[in-house]
Amino acid sequence: MRLEPGSHVAPHLTLVSLLRMGGVGSIWAAHHLGLGKDVAVKFISASLATNSTAVARFHREGALMARIKSPHVAAVYEHGVSGDGLQYIVMELLCGEKLSDRLARAARLSLQETVSIVSQLCEGLTAAHRLGIIHRDITPEHVFLADAGGSTCVKLLDFGVARGDVDPDGTTLTATGAVVGNLVYMSPEQFFDPKRVDGRSDLWSVAVMAYQALTGAPPFEQRGLEALLDAIRIGIFPLPSERSADITPALDAWFVKALSREPAGRFGAAEEMADALHQAAGAGPPSPVGAPSKAG
């Protein structure tokens, strides 16, 4: 099937415009006749369409995301196969920008914005972790700042390498020992003992993004893989107050705990982590996060 504006993926699904291309596939804006609204449709790339592992992972991504009911995880309406065998996932159509684009433009975010982003991500992760779903690849590229009528709703995207305790078909998933994720945002156990990865690994990645948002750089940014691995293995990083004068000792202490080398030393759950950040920041209700553009 040739993907182009006007193509019918299914009788109820008509492509409108290409939103973006990626290594795994493409995302299109489309009109969903059954829902009566525009949606985003994600397709697996032609180069991966004959790879059984990639196809299974793509199918599982749609199935896992559809199970998570949270305003802070991109909603999946359906996933399936077109008449000519093309795998697709139908998601909510989002307007806004990725956190990676926001950071590239602004370099640093305010404490209130950072607290708001972390709090909303933790809400989404609470819903995922309760289902036994671990994202394993939380990066600014996979966090979307969606325009929600004047305010911003943070959405977690791309569960392509997520792991669930149980597959949607009821099959128990076993740990493979494979290393997955973006190196800068990966927890120590993702590198050195992947079978130990649990929800606290996702929280580590959120803390790395929060550190980057407040200081302008991630805590572990050594050049070269070996130097980066050594820094993460040792677990020593500059306190954020060493990079930004407006960071308080309470916030330093939050990052020391959130980025503990051992999972047992970190916050045990996403809600606990978000609550502790509010307290450390002396924050009231999170302020809106700014945003604009379209994506799924």
DSSP at 171: P
Are residues 87 and 104 located together in one domain of the fold?
A: no
Please tell me the total count of domains within the chain: 2
Q: Among residues 137, 147, 198, 252, which one is catalytic?
A: 137
Residue 131, pLDDT score: 96
Are residues 64 and 99 located together in one domain of the fold?
A: no
Are residues 122 and 235 located together in one domain of the fold?
A: yes
The answer to whether 296 touches 91, Cβ cutoff 8 Å, is yes
Residue 285, pLDDT score: 45
Identify the domain containing residue 40 by its residue range.
8-92
pLDDT band at 296 (very low <50, low <70, confident <90, very high): low
Vertex 23: Cα angle to 229 and 226 (nearest 5):
10
Average pLDDT over residues 141-161: 94
Report yes or no on 1 lying in a domain: no
Are residues 234 and 251 located together in one domain of the fold?
A: yes
Are residues 57 and 141 located together in one domain of the fold?
A: no
Give CA 287 to chain center in angstroms.
Answer: 21
Average pLDDT over residues 218-242: 85
- Of 76, 92, 108, the domain-final residue: 92
- pLDDT at 202 > cutoff 60: yes
Pair of tokens at residue 101: 């684009």
User: In whole numbers, what is the pLDDT of the chain averaged over residues?
Assistant: 88
Average pLDDT over residues 164-183: 55
Average pLDDT over residues 59-72: 94
User: Could you give the C-alpha distances from 19 to 43, 94, 146, 294, in angstroms and in order?
Assistant: 12, 11, 15, 7
Are residues 225 and 261 located together in one domain of the fold?
A: yes
Residue 175, pLDDT score: 42
Q: Specify whether 137 is catalytic.
A: yes
Are residues 271 and 209 located together in one domain of the fold?
A: yes
- 79-121 residue pLDDT tens: 988 877 888 999 999 999 999 999 999 989 999 999 999 999 9
